[in-house]
Amino acid sequence: MAKTILDMDVVIVGAGPAGIAAAVTASRFGLKTALVEDSPGPGGQVWQETPSGRPWSRRWLNRLRACGAQVLGGTTAVCPVDQRTLLVETLDDHHVLAWRHLILATGARELLLPMPGWTVPGVFGAAGLARLAKNGWPVAGKKVVVAGSGPLLLPAALTLKRYGARIALIAEQAPIGRLIGFALACMYLAPAKLLQAWLYGLRLANVRYKMGCWPASVEGDVCLKKVSLVHKGLKIAIDCDILACGFGLVPNLELARLLGCSIQQGVVCVDQWQRTSVPGIYAAGEQTCIAGMEHAILSGRIAALVIAGQYQEARPMLGACSRARRFGHALARAFALRPEVLGLADQETIICRCEDVTAGQLQPYTDWRKARLMKRCGMGPCQGRICGAALSHIKAWPYPTARPPLLPTRIATLIEGTMAVQKAANEAKGDQI
Amino acid sequence: MKLTCDIAIVGAGIVGTACAYYLAQEGLKVIVIERGPVGGGSTGSCMGHIVVLHDSVPHLALTSFGRQLWQQISLGLPEGVEYNQCGTIWLATTQQQIQQLRSQQTYYNQYGIATQLLDQDALCDAEPCLRKGVAGGLYVPDDAVIYPPAAACYLLAMAQSNGAMLLQGCQVMAIGPDGSIRLQGNQIIYAGIIINAAGCWASQLDRQLPIIKRKGHLAVTDRSGAVLRHQVVEVSYLQSVRQDAGASVAFNVQPRKTGQILIGSSRQIGAEGTEVEMPVLAHMLQRAVEWMPILANLKVIRAWAGHRPSTPDHLPMIGPCPGNERVWLATGHEGLGLTTSLATAHLIANMIAGRPCQIDPGPYLPGRLLQGTYA
Amino acid sequence: MPRLVTVKIDGIEIRVPSGTSVAAALALAGKQITHRSVTGQQRGPFCGIGVCLACRVTINGQPGCRSCKVSCQEGMEVITDG
């Protein structure tokens, strides 16, 4: 029944680089900090510790272990109960976290775009499949086409290769010209990234890499058989087992939206101190700008320093943080999606995978509300996370309003969590009298 | 360009579209004006039950007539409307409530409404997931559930096939006693009769309308197999409906054709916004779990809130405004808009045509709540 | 050599390295299909990061769990509806 509430100075949602950096920093100043993470352990998409692989950055994870912050793994943010509490759920339990400061570090997810056949088992997100492989998904011996866009395709392919997959092709939709321009910009903005890309290149030396090439359709019935791609105006068909396909990243904005934080141009609005439009709520990392790990760490640290009142220490980081954001903007320009990849779906292609709503069925509708009302588009368990992101790119539909719960949540959690908050509020009232 | 028509309907919710459905059938030139999506107001956020309700004689008359009309068109409804004649079971826990169900049954019998009393065992067979020891129930087999926005869309499409026209994205700024409607951007439409079917927003067009919003919360589960077979409502739902102050909840669940369970219901007065209020939602869910413990472990995929257009005597306002035969009302249906939409439209069509109505329209005439002439 | 844990998938026991996700255990057990879509199509894990909810299964009696987000624990019982 109604359990006690965990009283925290700082609650951080998301234990990727931004969340970890924020937790480590906040704890340094004696702030009672909780770090909520949807995955079993901390690390996010980049730093996750895996059963068979090594962590990418042991240093930050060690600091996290040592810092005293409470790490709640396997814990999903459900919704705020009132203005200063967050309800969270685990596999078989739930908690209420009361916060004085909240840092949103929910990161980003891959943009997954509809194309004919993309619902066939064997089609995955690119970084998503790498993540699955790190957690034991058997890719060894599988023939994989890695496709889509963005700098994550290379490390994803590398991870898959390390776990024994045969990479048939890496297809990047961006044209070669734009990527060369980007590489030049990187020399100024982020030379380390260039080096990293070159190292990936070395390790993927015998893998085919095509620029200006994108997947067009998938064939297969119970499982995937063949992927068709377009390159230089020609169709290439590749027999394979898996298509690992992501078209860059989109920020996870659902929690920010539910909390009423202002969102503009697809990211959470923050000032230079990472403060959102809602007092007491900060945002850091990819949901404020898709700019990679350095930006995530810096912005997470800045948010925590501001909370601790350490503006002196934070101020010198502002320059690097804004440079990292500029790198993010250059990244977005270089890997901007070509119109062709936004128009892959045909009439029969399913757009909303939860409710099996096809492109043809959506054709009469001009906005989300109508599509939702009439066709249930985006009304399934993922609540439009996949089709919403896709349609915001394909049809430029703004995201629908967020409603609690953020993810499917046990009814018992909603009842007991809310009652716990009410009980505490009543007791507080009693104390005052 | 000057737009003229016989009938202009403000609002393309279930009531407005039902009016368009019947009036266009009569060969009248109908224009429906809607500022948002079709079925996007209360219609788009409500439960979608087609139930006979026995709160009062006029309620029973209107709901049973409405249900009968739905049944008549049910075979022609497209699949997307999800018409599902699952029946309603009213639940009683105390002997007093069993008595209440008995008198409800007698009452229904007089109106020719089929019912069946269920004892404890029969109830257990009918709904195995209900908590044990519920004293009994009254099964009303002809009640149904429906997916409301799709129903509104269907009715409108049928009206359009009979020549009705939809003006969508148009905000009505004012309606005049001379049958004029001023739209945003100052376009004027002249109508023989204006029907204000704007639901909760009807009083924005006519300040004297005594319509208040009653907020309600709903939650829907993930697809969860055959947990529920009928719409199930606790008898004290009626008390919740009548309660005029504060927030109240009552157990009301529906099986949707999708395999999901729709969980209601709550009623609040004086809550303007449609944001989900966790205390109300939790209270409502707890009530549901008390009746069906199995729900505790199911997952809610979405919760939302909406408003019901409510009148002081909980009956809709159907018919001409007193003192002005050109402005009619079809609003104030509270939680029964779906059930009574076709009946409302049928009454209006007959009154406009000067034909006798199948049920007495007297109890629903706006004159009972409005004095003086329409300004 | 990582520790092994035993999980039961649709009634059949399988041993996997500790830390393996339930989604991966399902694939190791030859079950790449986790559920049927609303129109009856076979579907398996897709996004890999807990967003698409395509990999939902029943774990220890809890329906609707994202198998990609849960690590296998000794004695876990998993049921798919594929």
Q: What is the pLDDT of residues A185-208, one digit of tens each?
A: 777 777 777 777 777 777 777 889
Task: Note whether B80 contacts A: Cβ–Cβ < 8 A.
Answer: yes
d(CA C23, CA C7): 12
Task: List, in order, residues 6 or more apart from A154 with CB less than 8 Å away.
Answer: A170, A197, A200, A201, A204
Pairing of strands B30-34, B3-10: parallel
CA distance, residue C38 to nearest chain B CA (Å): 8
Coil, helix or strand for A37?
A: coil
Q: Give the chain A residue nearest C42 (alpha carbons).
A: A222
Residue A181 φ then ψ, to 5°: -60, -40
Residue A48: what pLDDT? 66
3-class SS string, A212-264: CEEEEEEEECCCEEEEEEEECCEEEEEECCEEEEEECEEECCHHHHHCCCCEE
Q: Nearest-CA neighbor of B270 among B315, B205, B213, B331? A: B213
Rg (chain A; Cα; Å): 22
- pLDDT of residue B225 exceeding 90, the answer is no
| A8 against B1, higher pLDDT | A8
Question: Is C38 in Cβ contact with B222 (below 8 Å)?
Answer: no
Cβ-Cβ contacts under 8 Å, C56 against chain B:
222
Task: Note whether B258 contacts C: Cβ–Cβ < 8 A.
Answer: yes
Task: List, in order, residues 6 or more apart from B185 with CB less than 8 Å away.
Answer: none
A49 band by pLDDT with thresholds 50, 70 and 90: low
Q: Which H or E run includes A126?
A: helix A126-134
Q: Nearest-CA neighbor of B219 among A405, A401, A375? A: A405
Neighbouring-strand partners of residue B328: B195, B320
| Cis-peptide, bond into residue B148, ω within 30° of zero | no
* Residue-wise burial string across A157-176, b where 16 or more C-beta atoms lie within 10 A, e elsewhere: bbbbbebebbbbbbbbbbee
Coil, helix or strand for A171?
A: strand
Asked if B299 contacts A380 with a C-beta cutoff of 8 angstroms, the reply is no
Residue A165: what pLDDT? 97
Q: Nearest-CA neighbor of A135 among A108, A104, A159, A106? A: A159
Task: Note whether B273 contacts A: Cβ–Cβ < 8 A.
Answer: no
- Amino acid in position B37: P
Domains, in order of start, for chain C = 4-79 (3.10.20.740)
| CA distance to A42, A118, B7, B346, per residue, from B28 (Å) | 67, 49, 7, 14
pLDDT digits (tens, 9 = 90+) for B235-278: 887 776 666 666 899 999 999 988 899 999 999 988 889 999 99
Residue A433: what pLDDT? 59
pLDDT digits (tens, 9 = 90+) for B335-365: 999 999 999 999 999 999 999 999 999 999 9
Task: Note whether A1 contacts B: Cβ–Cβ < 8 A.
Answer: no
Residue B77: what pLDDT? 97
CA distance, residue C62 to nearest chain B CA (Å): 7
Q: Give the chain A residue nearest B305 (alpha carbons).
A: A403
Q: Tokens 């089609």 correspond to what residue?
A: A123
- pLDDT of residue B54 exceeding 90, the answer is no
d(CA A330, CA A208): 25
Cβ-Cβ contacts under 8 Å, B223 against chain C:
38
What average pLDDT does the segment A69-82 reach?
96
- Quote the percentage of chain A above a pLDDT of 70: 96
Pairing of strands A166-172, C12-17: unpaired
What average pLDDT does the segment A351-377 reach?
93
Residue A43: what pLDDT? 82
What average pLDDT does the segment B80-92 reach?
95
Residue C35: what pLDDT? 85
Cβ-Cβ contacts under 8 Å, B80 against chain C:
none
What average pLDDT does the segment B44-59 reach?
93
d(CA A261, CA A242): 38
User: Mean of the per-residue pLDDT values for chain B?
Assistant: 93
Q: DSSP secondary-structure letter at B81? A: G
pLDDT digits (tens, 9 = 90+) for A276-310: 999 999 999 999 999 999 999 999 999 999 999 99
pLDDT digits (tens, 9 = 90+) for B119-169: 999 999 999 999 998 999 999 999 999 999 999 999 999 999 999 999 999
Q: What's the distance, CA A283 to chain centroid?
A: 14
Residue from A132, A255, A350, A357 whose CB has the most chain C CBs within 10 Å, to mutate: A132
Residue B375: what pLDDT? 44
A50 band by pLDDT with thresholds 50, 70 and 90: low
Asked if B218 contacts B300 with a C-beta cutoff of 8 angstroms, the reply is no
d(CA A146, CA A28): 41
Residue B115: what pLDDT? 97
Question: Is B222 in Cβ contact with C64 (below 8 Å)?
Answer: yes
Residue B1: what pLDDT? 63
Pairing of strands B49-50, B231-234: unpaired
Residue A412: what pLDDT? 97
* Residue-wise burial string across A283-317, b where 16 or more C-beta atoms lie within 10 A, e elsewhere: bbbbbbbbbbbbbbbbbbbbbbbbbbebeebbeeb
Residue B104 φ then ψ, to 5°: -60, -40
User: Mean of the per-residue pLDDT values for chain A?
Assistant: 92
Residue B257: what pLDDT? 85
Residue C82: what pLDDT? 62
Neighbouring-strand partners of residue A227: A218, A238
A398 band by pLDDT with thresholds 50, 70 and 90: confident
Q: Give the chain B residue nearest A91 (alpha carbons).
A: B297
Q: Which B positions 299-328 lie with beta carbon below 8 A of chain C?
A: 299
B184 band by pLDDT with thresholds 50, 70 and 90: very high
Q: Which two tokens stand for residue C36?
A: 């049927």
Residue B371: what pLDDT? 73
d(CA A89, CA A79): 10
Question: Is A370 in Cβ contact with B303 (below 8 Å)?
Answer: no
Neighbouring-strand partners of residue C42: C36
Task: List, in order, residues 6 or more apart from B34 with CB less than 8 Å away.
Answer: B11, B12, B16, B40, B166, B167, B168, B169, B170
Strand (E) positions, chain C?
4-9, 12-17, 35-36, 42-43, 56-59, 62-66, 77-79
The whole-model pTM stands at 0.94
pLDDT digits (tens, 9 = 90+) for A131-179: 999 999 999 999 999 999 999 999 999 999 999 999 999 999 999 988 8
CA distance, residue A386 to nearest chain C CA (Å): 6
Pairing of strands A108-110, A249-251: antiparallel
Residue B323: what pLDDT? 83
Q: What's the distance, CA A93 to chain centroid?
A: 24
d(CA A405, CA B304): 10
d(CA B255, CA C49): 31
| CA distance to A75, B172, B324, B348, per residue, from B194 (Å) | 55, 12, 11, 12
A427 band by pLDDT with thresholds 50, 70 and 90: confident
d(CA B34, CA B160): 14
Residue A1: what pLDDT? 43
A46 band by pLDDT with thresholds 50, 70 and 90: low
Q: Which residues in chain C come in under a pLDDT of 50?
A: none
Pairing of strands C56-59, A249-251: unpaired
Is the ipTM higher than 0.90? The answer is: yes
Neighbours of chain A (3+ CB pairs under 8 A): B, C
From the list A38, A50, A109, which residue is nearest C47 (CB)? A109
d(CA A398, CA B74): 36
Q: Give the chain A residue nearest B45 (alpha carbons).
A: A373
Q: Which two tokens stand for residue B357?
A: 């109505």
Residue B182 φ then ψ, to 5°: -100, 125
Question: Is A138 in Cβ contact with C27 (below 8 Å)?
Answer: yes
